[in-house]
A and B are shown apart, each in its own frame.
Chain A
């Protein structure tokens, strides 16, 4: 059973972004066909004055939980302003907090992230911070009021999968009761399944589906993958070992022939 996200039980562990699809119709079909329960949406650009209305209404009409994000923000001030705008537009306390620190890797600026998380949490937001796999940063984010952590798998849009499995596993062990989401870097269903096998509670991805040749089929594949990974994790997988261990007993067989 998955953990709740600020008191909300999600129907499944797949969160999908809403950018870069060939058309809103394909976006909608990807959600419908996969059954993903959370839609992230970027609010930064030209959002003031409700000018994105029609598209935002389409997202709202998907009937899933909307997780607005602060994509593209580089400073605490920008991120906080965007979060307030998102709360008004989508009438939700949820905010995916993204504070970009590095131009090429889009690595989060974790110092500003912690500060913005504190400001927003105190203001009543329920913050989903996009962070690295650093344990101390994770701890600070929890102290700042976050009840979810979202470490990256790999840089945004890179499709490289889980770059640092050791660190993600350590994070899972360090924060056993905190809902953890692998956010960013997923390229293939096998990456998403691997994250779930590590015991993560959900996977958030966008480009891997939106830019696939068939986004609808890829969304379904991702859903199958996260469900398989979660099921496998719950099923207590075997330990890897160095030598073979026959699955059929060998006792009683001739071995000197």
Chain B
């Protein structure tokens, strides 16, 4: 029986390994950093399964593939299906009209409905409600995939994959860029805050002329606040400006966020191809699966299916852009 070696245990690698293992393939995983943790950029993700909201600024496959993600994840980790609420400050209402024009799958809601959905939102008279969207806790999702694989007998090697592996699947994100000439890093910054006095129950997006700001509840008064998107490949630190903008967004949603504790600061680089869509490439004995960009949890299921289709059945999904086996 063929043994597949998945390299990298972030959201891409774990999803690919899961899809392969569930289809009956024999799989092992290599990651020198060990089980999922803060070393991978998917640890720092928002975990929104929001294909309709993302479609506002993304290509059509994001909408189509993204819709499969909610079902895929629901079978493997806890997914909260509470929708997404999009609001804007009064001065940015033209941006909300544009947002509405550029996507679908929402209802327009007024002051009363906004207040009914999220009583703790402060002073928003209009919004867009994307009822079908969902979210998950990315760290729990990674751990659930990891445990599921271990339960299936998949071996995790805490070391660098040996060179010359047969049937390797490289899911290392930006670390694979020496083999993927058109991969770049896009800096993202986020905060984890705790504000026990504020209760927000679903992801809320605050439209902003420059940054798509959002807040995702993680339970127990903990919120993820994200995320900048900067064409820079320096992931060493958050800038004061980014921190100010993220915190101002939370403050605009409810001034009580001013009292929040800042628990964590996350900075990392999202791997992205020029059109910001993921790719599967087979070069020699290795399949590369990469470029999830802002859409790690949203598009990892489709990426995993595409890799499994190629590896097991030689079926080329539309994500395969090059095959030089």
Contacts and interface: CB of A to CB of B under 8 A. Distances in A.
A152 to B, nearest CB: 17
A47 B98 contact: no
B98 A211 contact: yes
Interface string A176-213: 00000000000000000000000000000000000101
Contacts of A46: 187, 230, 232, 234, 239
A164 interface: no
Given A23-B275, A54-B185, A47 B101 contact: no
Given A25-B274, A26-B275, A51 B233 contact: yes
B161 interface: no
Interface in A44-93: 45-49, 51-55, 58
Contacts, number: 55
Contacts of B187: 46
Contacts of B57: 22
Contacts of A47: 232
Interface string A28-42: 100000000000000
B209 interface: yes
Contact of A49 (B102, B234, B273): B234
A20 B210 CA distance: 8
Interface in B203-257: 209-210, 230-234, 239, 241
A11 interface: no
Bin chain A's interface residue count.
20 to 34
Nearest to B58: A22
A47 B241 CA distance: 14
Interface residues of B, number: 24
Interface in B98-131: 98, 101-102
Contacts of A26: 275
B233 A54 contact: yes
B98 A55 contact: no
B102 A55 contact: no
Nearest first, the 8 A-B pairs at minimum CB distance are: A51-B234, A54-B184, A55-B231, A25-B275, A23-B276, A25-B274, A46-B232, A24-B274
A54 B101 CA distance: 32
Nearest to A207: B209
B239 A157 contact: no
17 contacts: A20-B210, A23-B59, A23-B272, A24-B276, A25-B274, A26-B275, A45-B239, A45-B241, A46-B187, A46-B230, A46-B232, A53-B233, A54-B231, A54-B233, A58-B274, A211-B98, A213-B102
Contacts of A211: 98
Interface in B135-154: none
Given A22-B57, A53-B233, 9 more contacts: A23-B274, A24-B276, A45-B230, A45-B232, A46-B232, A46-B239, A47-B232, A55-B232, A157-B209
A161 B212 CA distance: 26
Contacts of B276: 22-25
Nearest to A211: B98
Contacts of B185: 54
B231 A52 contact: yes
Contacts of A24: 184, 231, 274-276
Contacts of A45: 230, 232, 239, 241
Interface string A212-241: 010000000000000000000000000000
Quick one: which of B57, B230, B231, B234 has the most chain A CB within 10 A?
A: B231
Nearest to A51: B234
Nearest to A44: B241
Contacts of A54: 184-185, 231, 233
Interface string B166-204: 000000000000000000110100000000000000000
Contacts of A48: 234
A51 B186 CA distance: 10
A215 to B, nearest CB: 11
Contacts of A213: 101-102
A222 B249 CA distance: 34
Interface in B288-316: none
Nearest to B91: A104
